[in-house]
């Protein structure tokens, strides 16, 4: 019954930045690990980053490490994905996902709820 809504996607040139938000309404995030995944046309869903319920432990995929940062503010029912130094290969639909009492896995099957996705396009 938990609903997740992504926002903040759009277009930017290579080297640009975007900040994605994943928000809930009416449900606290304190017990949920949150993951970000992306899927480009013709490709499998790919892990991007994850954060544990407390926000103290994060994991970032190697392809985004040093460029993307996941964070959360449980009081605001919000998880953020700050994306800097964007590359054309980052173009994809980005999804946030929540796993009850999860630890922040890279596996999509570890998550129970998924947002609708937000498009990120990086091109010159």
pLDDT digits (tens, 9 = 90+) for 69-110: 999 987 888 999 999 999 999 999 999 999 988 888 889 999
Distance CA(124)–CA(121), nearest Å, equals 10
pLDDT (0 to 100) of residue 73: 86
The number of C-alpha atoms within 13 Å of 63 and in the hemisphere containing its C-beta is 11
2/27: higher pLDDT: 2
pLDDT on residue 9? 97
For 17-57, write each residue's pLDDT tens digit: 999 999 987 677 888 999 999 999 999 999 999 999 999 99
């Amino acid at each position: 019954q938990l609903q997740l809504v992504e926002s903040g996607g759009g277009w930017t040139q290579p080297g640009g930045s975007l900040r994605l938000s994943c928000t809930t309404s009416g449900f606290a995030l304190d017990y949920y690990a949150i993951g970000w995944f992306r899927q480009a046309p013709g490709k499998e869903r790919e892990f991007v980053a994850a954060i544990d319920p407390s926000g103290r432990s994060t994991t970032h995929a190697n392809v985004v490490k040093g460029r993307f940062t996941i964070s959360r503010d449980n009081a605001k029912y919000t998880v953020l994905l700050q994306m800097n130094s964007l590359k054309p290969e980052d173009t994809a639909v980005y999804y946030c996902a929540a796993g009850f009492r999860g630890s922040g896995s890279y596996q999509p099957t570890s998550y129970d709820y998924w947002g609708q996705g937000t498009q990120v396009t990086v091109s010159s």
